[in-house]
Homo-oligomer: A and B are copies of this chain.
Amino acid sequence: MSEASVKFELSKEYLDLVVQAVEQQDNAFILETMEGVDPADISLLLEEATSDNTKYVLDLLQNEVGAEVIEELEEDTRQDFLKELSPEEIAEYIEEMESDDAVDVINDLPVRVREEVIAAIKDPENAAHIQELMRYDEDCAGGLMAKEMIVANVNWTILQTIEEIRRQAENVEKIYSIYVVDDRQKLLGKVSVKRIILSNDNISIKDIYDEDIKAVETYMDEEEVADIMQKYDLDAVPVVNLQGKLVGRITIDDIVDVITEQAEEDMQLMSGISADVEEDDSIWAISKARLPWLMIGLVGGTLGAWAIGFFEGDLESNAALAFFIPLVMATGGNVGIQSSTLVVQSLANRSAFTESFGKRIAKMFLVAIFTGVVLAAISFGIVYIWKGDADLGKVVAISLICVIMLASFTGTSTPLILDKFGINPALASGPFITTTNDILGIIVYLAIANLLLA
């Protein structure tokens, strides 16, 4: 086979060629077609390969490239792949990673293997950094930060700082800013790389550093870090401990991942998917993630049926009453989701000026009355024209107003309450609240019918 013209591409066809090359031990094909390809792309390709084949390919590539490929693999693929490697092999890749990525990979390993891997890391500073970072919770600033950064003592000159950059050149991929500290590692400020390039070698850092610097504390929640970096358009932020000592740095690429994951989580909560599944997961995994909320919906539906049962007499004497159950129910559901989403979004963009609980409820009330009256008028018209029954029209109209008010109230208050208890408020737009609103809607509608039509 002439492979001269084959190029790397993210396709089933190319992957098949790679698998074939592995079988035939055609290392030249693999090396030639993967030459200069971004590790992120190699990672996407190997995501679809077996762990054996991935190991064969990575053994051929430079450790530096292999390390990046491993970083970019999805968590479950990576876990499977790492089972193929000895602790020493894993340690070799770990040494090529920035400390934050190294910790992410190590945390995927079984506890026993973790210790063996750390013991196998040759550079003691590297191992110490990783052990330090492993102490932090994954979801806080300490868990996001890396130890790699350029730090200059306030008493240094530009020349000394450049020497430090040279010393760290291998470790620190992107510099962003140089952080300035005193002799006790307390963070004092920063110097931009622009300033370093444009300043005379003999100038002292003391004379040029910028004291206005935003820093975050190790225990700060990752979403708070994301808010700060987004608000102030930061590409990197230094992390300090309680004593104000500089302990690490968070870069914007990690924050982009935090923002994306948060959005996905919100969407899954809103749609009643209870685990982090993707469309290409197994049928069993997808079903397992979907069944819990569907069962809650079933219980809710049963409660709804039970509620309707109380009004069996009304339904028997006036079957047309049943016609509008879906209408009232659906409107309640829609209003509830709309209300909660608005609150969820305003919680996400929280500012010191957000309105108090009371004001929010008051405003929600006015919106509910306004939309309720509009929808009630339309529905009265529909029922009256269609059924010629003004009484039934009144029942539907009044029920709609009540249900809209009720759903607005639950939709507005639930996310606020969840948020108070530290639960993701997006849950309030999910099936649990929708189900609750359904049941409330049915009861309100049939109760009003019972009162007005009896």
Contacts and interface: CB of A to CB of B under 8 A. Distances in A.
A263 B278 CA distance: 17
A382 interface: yes
Interface in A311-360: 312, 315-316, 319-320, 322-331, 333-335, 337-338, 340-346, 349, 351-355, 360
A353 B322 CA distance: 48
Contacts of A38: 212, 214, 232
Given A169-B194, A326-B304, A10 B351 contact: yes
State the main secondary structure of chain A at its contact with B.
helix
A279 interface: yes
Nearest to A382: B302
B322 A271 contact: no
Interface in A263-297: 263-264, 266-268, 270-273, 277-280, 283-284, 286-287, 290-291, 293-295, 297
A334 B293 contact: yes
Nearest to A9: B352
B165 A300 contact: no
Interface in A426-441: 429, 431, 434-435, 438
Interface stretch (A53-61, A241-249, A369-377): A369-377
Interface string A11-53: 1100000000000000000000000101010001001100000
Query: Which of A166, A273, A346 counts the most B-chain CB atoms under 10 A from its CB?
Result: A273
Contact of A341 (B11, B268, B328): B268
A109 interface: no
Nearest to A251: B235
Contacts of A343: 279
A395 to B, nearest CB: 13
A113 interface: no
Nearest to A370: B287
A316 to B, nearest CB: 5
A312 B320 contact: yes
A40 B291 CA distance: 45
A135 interface: no
A11 B352 CA distance: 6
A198 interface: yes
Contacts of A48: 353
A83 interface: no
A286 B342 contact: yes
Interface of A: 9-12, 36, 38, 40, 44, 47-48, 162, 165-166, 169, 172, 174-175, 192-194, 196-198, 212, 214, 229-233, 235, 252-253, 255-257, 259-260, 263-264, 266-268, 270-273, 277-280, 283-284, 286-287, 290-291, 293-295, 297-298, 300-302, 304-306, 308-309, 312, 315-316, 319-320, 322-331, 333-335, 337-338, 340-346, 349, 351-355, 360, 363, 366-367, 370-371, 374-375, 378-379, 382, 386, 429, 431, 434-435, 438, 442
Q: Which 5 A-B pairs have the closest CB atoms?
A: A301-B327, A263-B263, A10-B352, A271-B341, A305-B323
